Amino acid sequence: MSAAFCDDLQVGQAQQAIAAAVRPLDLAERVDLRAALDRILAQDVVAPLDVPAHDNAGMDGYALDGAGLDCGETVLRVVGRGLAGHAYAGEVPRGAAVRIMTGAVLPQGCDTVAPLEQCRLDGAHVCIAPGLRRGDNARARGEDLRAGSVALAAGKRLRPADIGLLASLGCAEVMVARRVRVALLSSGDELRGIGQALDSGTVYDSNRYTLWAMLQRLGCDVLDLGLVADDAHALQQALRRGCAHADVVITSGGVSAGDADHVRRAMAELGDVAFWRVAMRPGRPLAFGRIAAGGHDALLFGLPGNPVAVMVAFYQFVRGALLQLMGATVPEQPLWPVVALDALRKKPGRTEYQRAWLQRLDDGRWGARVTGSQGSAMLHSMSQAHGLLVLAHDRGPVQAGDLVDFLPFEGLV
């Protein structure tokens, strides 16, 4: 590790420290199935029935007893018809078959479906081409899920397939974790709200909007505390308000060691705050801790002000903590090895994140090109990029052609 960064926590250490400090809220609510998308399942869902609930046809064709298949062509007498929702209720004697459509209940004694395209009708008989094996194209009762088995485990973030699966089990409602309440503020005398005039030296506050958007994606309830000046008292007031109403307070700006950086002090006065400089770029200043006010306490993340640093810090530290609060099973972030198409400067001793585009190479692999200048205020390149190259802590400079880890934005919801 280079001397310049030896006081800083490594990214992985900071993530572990946060994970160790976060206790799931353990609060659940019952919601309609359609309101459960992207929410965190609070209890295991046990299948109340077999799925499918009956043996049924996997294709349109003829249902038969596979024991009667011949080596060559099999000829069977057609004795009836079964449709989805309208089962054939009669007997199927030896040497007989039932015309059947996909999803129809298999008649008693039938375990195989000959697909239409392998069948030829000859009067009242069906001639089935050789090659069909017993059990082909039949779906067995309970083959997807058995009654009594865990269909979805608590902690799962519900995706469209899960919503459909719950519907297939007849669940109209589901218990999900209560949304995390997050209070949000931006700090900086130079910040202006949308609609205000931009006088000299001022910038629009974008971080509250970026953070709001990332929090929406995670299904959080957001309390917007607005813009707060570079003033220790005003910051403390805002943090108190956030703490009284939210599970988590997130600030951006004013967290480094500059003359106008008051967030650290305001935090320290309200609680037990571990201040970290994390060995990363962008996003080195990052404060995390717990504050208390008015009989409530809240986790607090003091994020840096630079707009790209805010996003990187959110994805690396805040996102996991919020999911953990909701009891989510947090999977490791997928990092995909891709080919660096540019040489990249990199110092060992910190994790670096570079915005990059992916492109398919002639040899079929994926290559990544960085989005030009990597200034941590440049939100436009964040908007253009497909994701981040993650250059590991101990890694030195990257040569064009080297493999590097890529973290896609899609999927980071």
Minimum CB distance to Mg ion, residue 185 (Å)? 12
Q: Shortest Cβ contact with ligand AMP: which residue?
A: 305
Minimum CB distance to ligand AMP, residue 263 (Å)? 8
Minimum CB distance to Mg ion, residue 204 (Å)? 14
Hey, which residues between 234 and 273 contact Mg ion (CB under 5 A)?
253-254
d(CA 71, CA 57): 22
- Which of ligand AMP, Mg ion, none does residue 307 bind to, with CB < 5 to 8 Å depending on kind? ligand AMP
Candidates 10, 74, 137, 186; binder of ligand AMP (CB under 6 A) is 186
- Could you say whether residue 155 binds ligand AMP (CB under 6 A)? no
- Could you say whether residue 203 binds ligand AMP (CB under 6 A)? yes
Name which of 20 and 200 has its Cβ closer to Mg ion.
Answer: 200
Q: Of 126-134, 149-157, 303-311, 316-324, which segment contacts Mg ion by CB under 5 A?
A: 303-311
Candidates 82, 107, 254, 387; binder of ligand AMP (CB under 6 A) is 254
Name which of 283 and 305 has its Cβ closer to Mg ion.
Answer: 305
- Could you say whether residue 191 binds ligand AMP (CB under 6 A)? yes
x/- mask, Mg ion, residues 305-324, rule CB under 5 A, reads: x-------------------
- Could you say whether residue 215 binds ligand AMP (CB under 6 A)? no
Candidates 61, 82, 107, 188; binder of Mg ion (CB under 5 A) is 188
- Could you say whether residue 283 binds ligand AMP (CB under 6 A)? no
- Could you say whether residue 198 binds ligand AMP (CB under 6 A)? no
Candidates 118, 236, 256, 381; binder of ligand AMP (CB under 6 A) is 256
Using CB under 6 A as the criterion, which residues of the chain lie in contact with ligand AMP when the complex forms?
186, 188, 190-191, 203, 205-207, 252-256, 258, 304-307, 377
Using CB under 5 A as the criterion, which residues of the chain lie in contact with Mg ion when the complex forms?
188, 253-254, 305
